[in-house]
Amino acid sequence: MDNLLGYALSAMAGATLAAIFFGVWIRRRRGKGPDPAELRRRVMRGAYKALESDFAGAAEEFGAVAQSDPDSSDVYFVMGRLFRRAGQFARAARVHQNLILRHDDKKGEIKKRALFELAEDYRAAQMLDRAVNTFAELVELAPQWLEPLQNLVELAIKGRFWSVAVTYIPRLEKLAGKVDDELAAHVLAEYALLQIEQGNPEEARKTLKLALKRSPRLAHVAFSFAYLHADAQKPKAVIVAMQEALDDRPDVLPLVLDALHRLATDHDFLERFDEFLADRGDDADGHWSVTLHRALRQRELGNDSKARELIRDLIRQGVDIPPVRQQATELMLALPEEWPQQERPWTCRRCQAAHQQLDWFCSSCSGWGTLDVPHTSKNVS
Ligand SMILES: [Zn+2]
């Protein structure tokens, strides 16, 4: 009995002591931190600074608030976004990385949000590869969340990560319930070119079959098939495929000629390329590119004076397109004074971005087939 009472008393005493110590500890801890009025003031100051677009200053205020309550992830999210708005991407990323580390073992909602924000930090910092990897990680964690998947596909295309884009486009189509066959075919055509370049023609063939299923008549797909035929040493089929591309999109002639010239050189069918050039009429879209390649061929054959003559003729016509200028410079022709100082590059009709080279793809707005061949003075009027 006594013993039991003694136990009970000592247990109570122990509990009381513990409670007192705990209370003191809590009071001490509270005493050390800023008082609630000060916290409120900092939150208000942070809000005002944000309203005045002083995002870095606002982030500092919220950082002080966050330190007084390390468990509150919301304040950290606010802080991270403010740093991003202030252009301090490394600090924003650090805030979000800390959130990810701290919440790695929990249910994951905070981790997912933080991954999303981290990917946005990388996107804002133009670190597309990291943004793509982070969105991909998030998509595996949250496969039903549409926005990261959309961003992943968008950035994979923008950054020309074709294998990533090819992987995730069908998943996006399924989740969004919306199919874009033409986009998929363009991306597959680019991926096939990459596979050929990497020495996987069999994989490229499979990819192009998928592209054909998506969009059987797309010029871009025919263009990529031409590369596959060249790889298989079938020059006749190369020419046929390129002609098919031109039938669909006559305006990509400069792109087709560049590609054909390179393929004919690498795979030894330059006579066929010369025939192709000879067969071009003089009134085709982008005819300047025919003359340009005739000049390049003349130079390759050692006829520099003939090459100069052809380029001079273009200059006389007022053609001031970047590749023509480049060749004129390489042939050491003096630029005539009437040649406008400002180059007229290819312009995207969707986003107005200027490009020095013709391409299927506008790297500024991710538009496909949106680059217009610059007008030559001959075309202008
Ligand atoms: Zn564009």
pLDDT (tens digit per residue) in 276-303:
999 887 766 678 899 999 999 999 999 9
71 C-alpha to ligand 1 centroid (Å): 44
160 C-alpha to ligand 1 centroid (Å): 14
Confidence of residue 380 (pLDDT cuts 50, 70, 90): very low
* pLDDT reported for residue 261: 97
* pLDDT reported for residue 269: 97
* pLDDT reported for residue 214: 97
pLDDT of 140 above 90: yes
Confidence of residue 114 (pLDDT cuts 50, 70, 90): very high
Confidence of residue 324 (pLDDT cuts 50, 70, 90): confident
131 C-alpha to ligand 1 centroid (Å): 21
368 C-alpha to ligand 1 centroid (Å): 8
Q: Which of 13-22, 298-307, 367-376 has the highest mean predicted lDDT (pLDDT)? A: 298-307
pTM, entire model: 0.80
Confidence of residue 104 (pLDDT cuts 50, 70, 90): confident
155 C-alpha to ligand 1 centroid (Å): 14
371 C-alpha to ligand 1 centroid (Å): 7
Tell me the pLDDT tens digit for each residue of 34-50: 678 888 888 888 888 88
Which of 158-172, 189-203, 351-365 is predicted least confidently?
351-365
360 C-alpha to ligand 1 centroid (Å): 11
Higher pLDDT, 356 or 28: 356
344: region left, alpha or beta (phi > 0 left; psi from -120 to 50 alpha): beta
* pLDDT reported for residue 301: 95
339 C-alpha to ligand 1 centroid (Å): 27
365 C-alpha to ligand 1 centroid (Å): 4
pLDDT of 91 above 50: yes
* pLDDT reported for residue 20: 36
187 C-alpha to ligand 1 centroid (Å): 16
Which of 169-173, 321-325, 350-354 is predicted least confidently?
321-325
pLDDT of 138 above 60: yes
67 C-alpha to ligand 1 centroid (Å): 44
User: In the predicted model, what is the mean pLDDT of residues 314-320?
Assistant: 82
User: In the predicted model, what is the mean pLDDT of residues 14-35?
Assistant: 47
364 C-alpha to ligand 1 centroid (Å): 5
* CA dist., res. 67 & res. 16, Å (int): 31
Inter-residue contact 60 to 79 (CB < 8 Å): no
347 C-alpha to ligand 1 centroid (Å): 8
CB atoms inside a 10 Å sphere around CB 70: 11
356 C-alpha to ligand 1 centroid (Å): 13
Which of 132-146, 257-271, 354-368 is predicted least confidently?
354-368
- Please, what is the average pLDDT of the chain? 85
* CA dist., res. 188 & res. 204, Å (int): 9
Inter-residue contact 333 to 298 (CB < 8 Å): no
Q: What is the 3-state secondary structure (H, E, C) of the chain?
A: CHHHHHHHHHHHHHHHHHHHHHHHHHHHHHHHCCCHHHHHHHHHHHHHHHHCCCHHHHHHHHHHHHHHCCCCHHHHHHHHHHHHHCCCHHHHHHHHHHHHHHCCCCCCHHHHHHHHHHHHHHHHCCCHHHHHHHHHHHHHHCCCCHHHHHHHHHHHHHCCCHHHHHHHHHHHHHHHCCCCHHHHHHHHHHHHHHHHHCCCHHHHHHHHHHHHHHCCCCHHHHHHHHHHHHHCCCHHHHHHHHHHHHHHCHHHHHHHHHHHHHHHHHCCCHHHHHHHHHHCCCCCCCHHHHHHHHHHHHHHCCCHHHHHHHHHHHHHCCCCCHHHHHHHHHCCCCCCCCCCCCCCCEEECCCCCEECCCCCECCCCCCECCEECCCCHHHHC
Higher pLDDT, 247 or 19: 247
* pLDDT reported for residue 175: 97
User: In the predicted model, what is the mean pLDDT of residues 314-330?
Assistant: 83
171 C-alpha to ligand 1 centroid (Å): 25
Confidence of residue 1 (pLDDT cuts 50, 70, 90): very low
